[in-house]
Chain A
Amino acid sequence: EAGVTQSPTHLIKTRGQQVTLRCSPISGHTSVYWYQQALGLGLQFLLWYDEGEERNRGNFPPRFSGRQFPNYSSELNVNALELEDSALYLCASSTGQGYGNTIYFGEGSWLTVV
C-alpha cells in the first residue's frame, strides 16, 4: 500500500513569490493535514481538510491556504513568501474523524525562501 506522497520534494523560491505544494493521501483516507516544521520550532499544525472542506486551521496568516479535491488529494498554497516560511512542509492523512484514527506523514516538501 502506498503511503502519503508529496511533491515537490525540494524547491527554492524568492521572497514575495507564491508556491503550491501537493499531497496525495493513503488510499481510503479522507482527511488531509498540513504541518510546518521550521528549524528549531517543532511541528506546527497548519490546516485540516476532510471530505473537501476546510475543518480547522492553525495560527497562520491567511496567505497560507489550500484545498482538497474530490479524489482527496490536497494542495497547500503560500502567497507572498517570506524568509521565515523556509521549512519542511509535511502532509499527513487519516481515515477522517472518529475514535481511533491514526495519522501518517508523508516525506515532506523542503521549501527554501531566498
Chain B
Amino acid sequence: GENVEQHPSTLSVQEGDSAVIKCTYSDSASNYFPWYKQELGKRPQLIIDIRSNVGEKKDQRIAVTLNKTAKHFSLHITETQPEDSAVYFCAASQNAGGTSYGKLTFGQGTILTVHP
C-alpha cells in the first residue's frame, strides 16, 4: 500500500518568513495530493491540492510543487502569519481500479508555529 512520509514534524518560524513542508510517497500510481490544515480541536480543512498532471499550483500565499519522478511534493507558505499556526497534513491517493481520491494516505503531520 501507499506510504507517505512528512518532514519536519515541527516547524517554528517568525512572522513574515516562509515555511516549507515536504512529503514523499511510495506508490507511483498515486495521482492526487491534497494538503490539509487542522487547528486545535477542529476538523482538517483542505488548503490546496495538486493532481499529477501539473507540477505546481499556487493560491495566494500558498503553493504546492510536485515531482513525480522523485515521488515528492512540498507545501510552501510565504509571508507567514500567526494565524497560519496549525498542524499541516499532506496526503496522497489515486483514482484507479476501484479506489477513490477519498481513500487518502496521510503523512504524520507538521506542527507549524508562527511567532509574532
B46 at the interface (CB under 8 A from A): yes
Majority secondary structure of chain B interface residues (helix, strand, loop or mixed):
loop
Contact string against B for A residues 98-114, beta-carbon threshold 8 Å, 1 for contact and 0 otherwise: 11111111111000000
The total of Cβ contacts below 8 Å across the A-B interface reads 65
Q: Which residue of B lies closest to A110 (CB)?
A: B41
Min CB–CB distance B53 → chain A (angstroms) = 10
B100 at the interface (CB under 8 A from A): yes
A56 at the interface (CB under 8 A from B): yes
Min CB–CB distance A107 → chain B (angstroms) = 5
A107 to B103, CA, bound (A): 18
Contact A48 B100 (CB under 8 A): yes
Of A60-68, A73-81, A89-97, the stretch lying at the interface with chain B is A89-97
Contact A31 B43 (CB under 8 A): no
Contact A101 B100 (CB under 8 A): yes
B81 at the interface (CB under 8 A from A): no
A42 to B108, CA, bound (A): 5
Contact B100 A50 (CB under 8 A): yes
Q: Name the A residues within 8 Å of B91 (CB-CB).
A: 43
A50 to B98, CA, bound (A): 11
A58 to B105, CA, bound (A): 10
User: Which of A31, A35, A97, A102 makes the CB contact (< 8 A) with B49?
Assistant: A102
Q: Name the A residues within 8 Å of B107 (CB-CB).
A: 42
Contact A102 B105 (CB under 8 A): no
Contact A48 B102 (CB under 8 A): yes
- B residues sitting closer than 8 Å to A (CB atoms) are 34, 36, 42-46, 49, 51, 89, 91, 95, 98-109
